[in-house]
Amino acid sequence: MVDAQGIEQVIPHRGAMRLIDEIREFNETSGVGIHYVRDDEFWCAGHFPGKPIMPGVLQIEALAQTACFIALTNLGLTDGSTLGYFTTMEKIKFSHMVTPGDVLELHVELVMSKMSLYKFHGIAMVGGKKVAEATFTAIMGPRDK
């Protein structure tokens, strides 16, 4: 298992924008990240007042952060010098609401890689139920200082 400190060594996301709390498992082609959905997250007050529902775009971002961690780790680029940049998102589906108290499991699988371009398929789950799904590509490139 990789904790938040280990994740932050690889990807640049900090504070409210780091949407993975741990990596439970990973290998060259797949992995599982975890996000503990809390009631003090920045989006709770406005999406929606009195009935907070995690925005779908943040669920997809959490999948992408998990994928980026896996790709960069497998490339040996764990010093923060390389970032993953979205290039496409497709086949996005949302099945169930995600609310505070949920444990969001982020299952990602590498579909294709060519040079610095990576395509992943991700499924977000809560309690064994699929809540979101997407296919997305990202290019790994140097971090501009």
Residues assigned a catalytic role: 47
For residue 2, which of 20, 24, 34 has the smallest C-alpha distance? 24
| Residue ranges in the chain assigned as alpha helix (H) | 4-10, 56-74
Q: What is the mean pLDDT of residues 56-82?
A: 93
pLDDT tens digits, residue range 37-62?
999 999 999 999 999 999 999 999 99
Sequence ranges of the domains in the chain: 4-142
Residue 23: per-residue pLDDT = 98
Residue 6: per-residue pLDDT = 95
- Check: CB of residue 65 under 8 Å from CB of residue 18: yes
Report the 10 Å Cβ neighbour count for 32: 16
Q: What is the mean pLDDT of residues 84-112?
A: 97
For residue 68, which of 10, 1, 129, 9 has the smallest C-alpha distance? 10
Residue 79 corresponds to which tokens in the numbers above? 């010093």
Its pTM stands at: 0.95
Residue 80: per-residue pLDDT = 82
End-to-end CA distance of the chain: 30
Residue 9: per-residue pLDDT = 93
Homologous superfamily (CATH) of 4-142 is: Hotdog Thioesterase (3.10.129.10)
Q: Is the pLDDT of residue 108 over 70?
A: yes
